[in-house]
Structure 1
């Protein structure tokens, strides 16, 4: 690929794809990145924003991203009627060429006014590795409308307070703190699970970590606080890219390597009938019991003749987003499971497989077309890393 020189004072870690010719703002869709750690509510909020925009006549598409394949998020978005593209096998920064290709393809085939892009939950440094390269080399593809990082409200007043995020030491502390400081727009999510006093506490804690950020609070479940996010997403302005915080990539890689990732899908056939809501709860309770505090995030999606049901478990809390038109038993359903846990991939793979088998044994069902893979994410190697503050890479 051809090597290009960025503007003076800005250096790229690696040359990437050819430039995209600029377009007028009337033709460029607004691109919004929704970042945040695993389980922070990115997908649920993305669906809520996408559906709200669509209800207002604003064509919207989404791009999902993961270290593996068979994503709950992509299937869920499509079931909810949103145009969705998927970038598997690495984060946006490491698969930047694919990200550019998907942006171009979505713009050509869907012509959305807004594109919501959800990076991998363990990904950070997006200002330097995604937004700045897009601005420099592919500004014609989309207008950079917002970079928003979500922080789980209950975690902010619980687990995160027990961490040393103000002066991070452990790899996971470094990762989470960098995610928060990399963006200038932050969202405290899941406020429906907090009291007003706890919401204020969460905002104050976040403000201490990022004093200059704009902070809003919202619940994707109740819809409270969604309107300010809609304003961020639909603005005609383009964000001014900020300086990228320092990041030790050895520590970043160690944080990712602490987690095992499992993605799988299968077809469940149940001649005697399968109740989707009960099956979902059984699987999530099984994940919770097996992994305990080591379960970072678990997701389950069932798709059947009555629609779809997506559910997740974070910090022992189960949340369900049902699109089922009926709770009657079904004889066949598609199942997708994603698990992120502080455990060996082989252990996660075996555990999920056993939980699915046990579910089928209880209801007299069988499993077919089972595709599954468990991995430890590789070291992040971005195609670009461009820092504006000191020109370093």
Structure 2
């Protein structure tokens, strides 16, 4: 499993790992996960040609049987050598509720790799007091820290975002705070450090150790502070339009609205794919902090007349505030562009209720 808080770059890293494994001749099956449905992550991974199953409606710990079923479907369809699962970014206690149950119940069928937990270095530097900037509240940070506490590998992603001195201080701080984990540095975008990380994952199995204690009341309260929004929108222009400026304007409008309302963005992800053309053609934009610039990681090959927009927005704030931000952005879309809302859900995650919780493998 490749875990980590919202905005850590998990999906980009999962794709890089999948491409690496495929290049070495191993078939890969991917499993994405979310509290809602209509995931940007699933669309992005499928656009790259990977067999991908999506588990909506709750985290892996609460949808354990669905996780096993998804692995079964992938086995029937593509017979992968390796499964890569990406849990919800607000989920923790994965060792006790996912990997240990898998090992106890399905130990003859699965070999479990060390648990990697990715971190966005700017967010992590703020959490651990190494830099200033927008921050989550205490109970949300409780989840953030618990994710790191259970990690076998803490993987600092996006290493190009910090100055070398701050990056070194962050690595030292993480090693001090979480001595059971090995701390690595990577950039999923540039490829820096990936080989070392891939080797750690593929050449070892997860070592059994005592699971951490989790206060599920605080955990639930922390998740409930996060607003969740998924939407699918049909965009149609009176003439052909470019994906880049449209996505940038939509993201910028949402960013401004949320900042004005005091909602701290955890992750805004949007994809835009043409209604006609190759299935792998998709534009992707991300925003992971209020004071960050929306970043286009992929663009369409050519202008389009119409397309499907998928919006995944997570922020510490009221779901109605998130909904208003999206509605404002769509209402002020570029001239000549009509936006038709096909699907919208906005909510706060419910209290996690794991299917299993195994505290040891004896």
Q: What's the TM-score, normalizing by structure 2?
A: 0.91
Out of 298, 318, 323, which is 2:268 matched to? 298
Q: Is the 8 A contact 1:313 1:319 kept in 2?
A: yes
Range with bigger deviation, 372-381 or 310-319: 310-319
Partner of 1:240: 207
Detail structure 1 runs of 4+ shifted over 6 Å in the superposition: none
Question: Greater Rg, structure 1 or structure 2?
Answer: 1
State the secondary structure of the residue aligned to 1:186: strand
State the secondary structure of the residue aligned to 2:165: helix
**Offset at 1:323?**
5.2
1:382 aligns with 2:354: yes
Range with bigger deviation, 54-63 or 224-233: 54-63
1:331 aligns with 2:305: yes
**Offset at 1:162?**
6.6
Q: Is the 8 A contact 2:152 2:206 kept in 1?
A: no
**Offset at 1:369?**
5.5
Q: What do the CA deviations read for 1:62-95 (whole angstroms, capped 9, x no partner)?
A: 1100000000000110011111100000000000
Q: What do the CA deviations read for 1:100-136 (whole angstroms, capped 9, x no partner)?
A: 1111111221111221110000000001000111001
Q: What's the TM-score, normalizing by structure 1?
A: 0.84
Structure 1: give runs of 5+ residues left out of the alignment.
1-32, 164-168
Partner of 1:257: 224
**Offset at 1:309?**
1.3
Number of equivalent positions? 348
Partner of 1:191: 159
**Offset at 1:333?**
1.1
Structure 2: give runs of 5+ residues left out of the alignment.
132-136
Counterparts of 1:48 and 1:36, CA distance in 2 = 16
State the secondary structure of the residue aligned to 1:134: helix
**Offset at 1:52?**
2.4
Counterparts of 2:324 and 2:258, CA distance in 1 = 12
Partner of 1:319: 295
Q: Which residues of 2 match residues 39-58 of structure 1 at below 5 A?
A: 39-58=7-26
1:151 aligns with 2:119: yes
Partner of 1:221: 189
Counterparts of 1:84 and 1:69, CA distance in 2 = 14
Partner of 1:11: none
Counterparts of 1:196 and 1:229, CA distance in 2 = 20
Q: Is the 8 A contact 2:231 2:341 kept in 1?
A: no
Q: Is the 8 A contact 1:40 1:151 kept in 2?
A: yes
Q: What do the CA deviations read for 1:362-389 (whole angstroms, capped 9, x no partner)?
A: 2312233521100110000001111129
Partner of 1:78: 46
Partner of 1:176: 144
**Offset at 1:284?**
1.5
Partner of 2:327: 353
Q: Is the 8 A contact 1:266 1:369 kept in 2?
A: yes
1:125 aligns with 2:93: yes
Counterparts of 1:61 and 1:161, CA distance in 2 = 38
Range with bigger deviation, 39-48 or 298-307: 298-307
Q: What do the CA deviations read for 1:17-47 (whole angstroms, capped 9, x no partner)?
A: xxxxxxxxxxxxxxxx011111111111111
Q: Is the 8 A contact 1:268 1:333 kept in 2?
A: yes
State the secondary structure of the residue aligned to 2:220: helix
Q: In angstroms, what is the RMSD of aligned CA positions?
A: 1.9
Q: What do the CA deviations read for 1:194-217 (whole angstroms, capped 9, x no partner)?
A: 222222111111112111311110
Distance 1:145 1:371, change over 3 A: same
State the secondary structure of the residue aligned to 1:150: strand
Q: Is the 8 A contact 1:273 1:363 kept in 2?
A: no
**Offset at 1:354?**
2.4
